[in-house]
Amino acid sequence: MYMATSLLIAESRNLNLKNHLEIIEKIFEGVRQQLLLKIQHNRLDLTAEQKDMVSRKVRDTVLNISKLPEGHNLREFLFKYYEGLEIPLVDQDFARDHLILSQFWNRKHLTKLSQPAPNPKNEFILTEPNMIESAEPYYLPQGNVIVVPVDLVQDPFFLLNTHDVFKYSSMGFVLARELMHAIDPINIRFDSEGNLNEAGVEIANSPRFLESLQCFNTTDSNIKGLLAHIGGINLAYSAYLESIKSSSKNGSDSSVIGVHPNNITSLPLQQVFFLNAAQSFCRDGLDNNNVWLKEMLYSYFPFDSAFECFPKEDQCRMW
């Protein structure tokens, strides 16, 4: 019932998903553009065909908020989607109701397997069972889609009328992190439709790609997360700086609409960015949080510059 739950959360919190979507998509486009620029810079010495494949996949990555489709009357869509699902209301038999819902979900899932690939923007996202209750954004390789649970599109994680430094260091960072998963050592092998791609396989086996992986000196189980965090903070910070430049060129300062950090702290905006990004690591549930936070910021020049740290060796990076 997680699809219905997403709508109930949005309605109970009076969330205007359309307004939120416009801002979040702007942030996402900012981090996407930064990744495309890195691909064109071609640190990995990719061929023209390989660059085209990776760039196309990044451009085709879809952002979906709350798992719900766009362009529908959501209540009508939900009534149609759950048509045929009957749960007795006379008692509270959790085990029976759980089995009924599991059977319903599996029927929907199996039906999708025999149909053409869905458009993630116009159709409901069938999430894998282990991701149903996730409060974090996540990347679905089979649809090349990033799903943002509706829980994150609200206070305290995301506020519409606040300074851009908070938007890009929170929502921008997690979106950039998930975008990096689209081109990690596993998913780089597949195109935007989830098909094994020859150019992608060549990239994954190329000397420069493998050499970059060795720099990180970590286990295979940690490498995807580490690459996503290091690449994500880089993309988010670059996108934030670019948003400041764009505002200045347009003769307006959209970055200071609403709550300005100077009203609550005297810290420089660069420090505020990294401190706010680190907030997402201050929670239970992920054993690698401390490791990823340290590795993400270790030898990262903008962080060292913001906090006047002693320069270290160059940070490992992929793209």
CATH fit for domain 21-69+135-306, picks 1.10.565.10, 3.30.1860.10, 3.40.1380.20, 3.40.390.10: 3.40.390.10
Q: What per-residue confidence (pLDDT) applies to 12?
A: 61
Lowest mean pLDDT among 17-31, 47-61, 174-188: 17-31
Asked if residue 242 has pLDDT above 90, the reply is yes
CA-to-CA distance for 280 and 65, rounded, in angstroms? 19
Q: What per-residue confidence (pLDDT) applies to 238?
A: 97
HEC-encoded secondary structure of the chain: CHHHHHHHHHHHCCCCHHHHHHHHHHHHHHHHHHHHHHHHHCCCCCCHHHHHHHHHHHHHCEEEECCCCCCCCHHHHHHHHCCCCCCCCCCCCHHHHHHHHHHHHHHHHHHHHCCCCCCCCCCCCCCCHHHCCCCCCEEECCCCEEEECHHHCCCCCCCCCECHHHHHHHHHHHHHHHHHHCCCCCHHHECCCCCECHHHHHHHCCHHHHHHHHHHCCCHHHHHHHHHHHHHHHHHHHHHHHHHHHHHHCCCCHHHCCECHHHCCCCCHHHHHHHHHHHHHCCCCCCCHHHHHHHHHCCCHHHHHHCCCCCCCCCCCCC
- Helices 17-41 and 220-249 pack at an angle, to 10 degrees, of 110
Sorted by where each begins, the domain ranges of the chain are 21-69+135-306
Asked if residue 80 has pLDDT above 90, the reply is no
pLDDT band at 258 (very low <50, low <70, confident <90, very high): very low
pTM of the model: 0.81
Tens of pLDDT, residues 113-165: 776 666 655 555 555 555 555 668 889 898 899 988 887 887 778 887 888 99
Percent of the chain's residues with pLDDT above 70: 77
Q: What per-residue confidence (pLDDT) applies to 257?
A: 39
Q: Tokens for 109? A: 């899932």
Q: What per-residue confidence (pLDDT) applies to 208?
A: 93
Asked if residue 60 has pLDDT above 90, the reply is yes
